[in-house]
């Protein structure tokens, strides 16, 4: 039964891959725009919808502020913001997330 569920998921995932790549690319471009606006953003990296933003400052407070605004993300290695949106995320969802993230990054001193 578990193997069958796994196979069904792979079939569904195959159909989602074009959207994942398209929305992920869009998300990457918008994160790069934030990188250019904020000197403390060191690098944006990742593929598809699994993206990270490396900072030169600790990310803990940024994560807490983002969660307070309704954006769920986490921080790894103290300075890397990690984004893992669901595979069904749309460009509209990305716009909303980047708007919140931009607001939160604007508060960093």
Rounded to two decimals, the pTM is 0.89
Output 12 or 91, whichever has higher pLDDT: 91
Q: What are the start-end ranges of the E strands in 48-98?
A: 50-55, 74-76, 80-83
Q: pLDDT by residue (tens digit) across 35-91? A: 999 999 999 999 999 999 999 999 999 999 999 999 999 999 999 999 999 999 999
Q: Are 62 and 75 in contact (CB under 8 A)?
A: yes
| pLDDT at residue 14, rounded to an integer | 85
| pLDDT at residue 99, rounded to an integer | 98
**19 pLDDT exceeds 90?**
yes
Mean pLDDT of 92-99: 98
Q: Are 73 and 49 in contact (CB under 8 A)?
A: no
């Amino acid at each position: 039964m578990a193997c069958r569920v796994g196979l069904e998921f792979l079939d569904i995932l195959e159909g989602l891959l074009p959207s994942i790549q398209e929305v992920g690319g869009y998300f990457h471009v918008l994160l790069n725009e934030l990188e250019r606006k904020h000197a403390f953003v060191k690098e944006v990296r990742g593929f598809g919808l699994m993206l990270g933003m490396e900072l030169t400052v600790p990310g803990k407070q940024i994560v807490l502020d983002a969660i307070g605004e309704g954006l769920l993300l986490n921080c790894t290695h103290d300075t890397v913001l990690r984004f893992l949106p669901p595979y069904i995320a749309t460009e509209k969802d990305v716009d909303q997330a980047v708007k919140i993230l931009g607001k939160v990054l604007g508060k960093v001193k």
